[in-house]
Every structure is written in structure tokens, then in C-alpha cells.
């Protein structure tokens, strides 16, 4: 009887202490939290405010040149367009295509082809009575010839342009062409001086 009473008394006491200890363990346990991320406003780009960004500035003097393959593709495309415009007698478009080809050839220093297409423009312009392109093609011929050192023929073409423009009363054109003549003459004089300087540097046995 005594033992049963003792058990009945001890059982609630053990349960009480167990619950107390368990409660204290939960109180002491701490939750580990990760650090908070920075505010989204600091991480996102604010499109409402002007922000300085690094910009790569390309100089106007930098030129991106076509590869040889690029030139060939461009030339083929222009030629195709040119054949079409010539076939259907599209004068203005043909002149444009000729000028594009000339620009392409000048970029490659293919002066012979450039000269040939200036002649084509001149011939076509004379058929149509287009004074502007007659003058422009003569000036173009003169400047191309000066690039290859043919200064005498260059001046002949430019003088022909002067005479034609003057005959049409296009005095502004006459003034501009004469400026081109001055440039060609200046290049010719520089070329002569360069040849003289080079001759002076040659050994005596090679001068003869």
C-alpha cells in the first residue's frame, strides 16, 4: 500500500520536472537567421534618374574598311543593280550606281576602273544633256589622274570642265574647278621636288 502511494506521488513530480526542463530548453534555443539582403532599390537600376555609364567613343578618323570578300560582295550587288537600271533606261539610278562603283574602286585605289566609270558617266550625261554630271565627271577624271601622277592629263580634264562650265554660264562651278586645278598644280610641284630630292640622294653611278 505504501509502495503504491509512493509511486502515485512520484509520478506527477517526475512529469512536472520533465515538462519544466523541456520548457527551459525551448526558451534557450535560438533561431539562426541569414543576414538580410540589401534593399532592392540599391540593387536595381533606376531608370528615372540619369546615371553615368562608360561609353566608348570612336574618333571620326577611325575607318572600318571592308575585307576583300566584302568588296567583292558589294561590287557584285552594285553591278547587278547597274545592269538593271541600264537595261530599263533608268538614267538617274544608273548615274548613282556608277558613282557608288567609283567610290568603291577609289577606296581600293583601283584608279583605272574609277576612270572608266567616270568616262561612262560623261558619255551618258552628254547623251542626256546633263550639264551637272558632264562637269562632275570631267572633274572626277582630272582628280583621279592626279592621284596616279598623270598631272598633265589631269589639268586637261579640269580645263575642259572650266571651259564647259563657263560656256554654260556656271560661274560658281568655274571657281570651284579652278580650286581643284590649284590643288593639282600644288601636288605636281611637290612631286617634282620629291623627284629632285630623290635624285640628289642617289649615288653618282646610278644617276647616269
**In the chain, what are the domains?**
68-203 (1.25.40.10)
Calpha distance 139→160 (Å, rounded): 9
* CB proximity list for 17: less than 8 A, separation 6 or greater: none
Are 156 and 189 within 8 A, CB to CB?
A: no
User: Would you give per-residue pLDDT tens digits along the chain (208 residues)?
Assistant: 544 455 445 555 555 555 455 444 444 555 444 444 444 444 333 434 444 434 333 444 544 466 888 889 999 999 999 999 999 999 999 999 999 999 999 999 999 999 999 999 999 999 999 999 999 999 999 999 999 999 999 999 999 999 999 999 999 999 999 999 999 999 999 887 666 655 555 555 555 5
Amino acid at each position: 500500500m505504501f509502495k503504491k502511494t509512493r509511486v502515485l506521488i512520484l509520478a506527477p513530480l517526475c512529469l512536472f520536472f520533465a515538462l519544466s526542463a523541456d520548457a527551459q530548453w525551448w526558451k534557450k534555443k535560438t533561431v539562426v537567421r541569414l543576414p538580410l539582403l540589401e534593399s532592392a532599390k540599391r540593387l536595381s537600376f533606376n531608370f528615372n534618374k540619369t546615371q553615368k555609364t562608360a561609353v566608348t567613343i570612336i574618333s571620326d578618323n577611325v575607318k572600318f574598311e571592308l575585307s576583300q570578300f566584302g568588296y567583292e560582295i558589294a561590287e557584285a550587288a552594285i553591278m547587278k543593280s547597274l545592269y538593271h537600271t541600264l537595261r530599263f533606261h533608268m538614267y538617274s539610278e544608273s548615274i548613282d550606281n556608277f558613282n557608288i562603283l567609283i567610290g568603291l574602286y577609289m577606296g581600293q585605289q583601283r584608279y583605272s576602273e574609277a576612270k572608266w566609270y567616270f568616262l561612262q558617266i560623261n558619255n551618258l550625261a552628254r547623251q542626256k544633256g546633263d550639264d551637272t554630271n558632264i562637269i562632275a565627271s570631267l572633274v572626277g577624271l582630272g582628280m583621279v589622274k592626279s592621284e596616279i601622277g598623270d598631272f598633265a592629263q589631269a589639268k586637261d580634264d579640269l580645263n575642259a570642265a572650266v571651259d564647259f562650265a563657263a560656256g554654260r554660264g556656271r560661274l560658281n562651278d568655274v571657281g570651284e574647278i579652278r580650286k581643284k586645278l590649284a590643288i593639282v598644280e600644288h601636288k605636281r610641284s611637290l612631286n617634282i621636288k620629291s623627284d629632285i630630292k630623290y635624285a640628289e640622294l642617289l649615288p653618282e653611278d646610278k644617276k647616269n
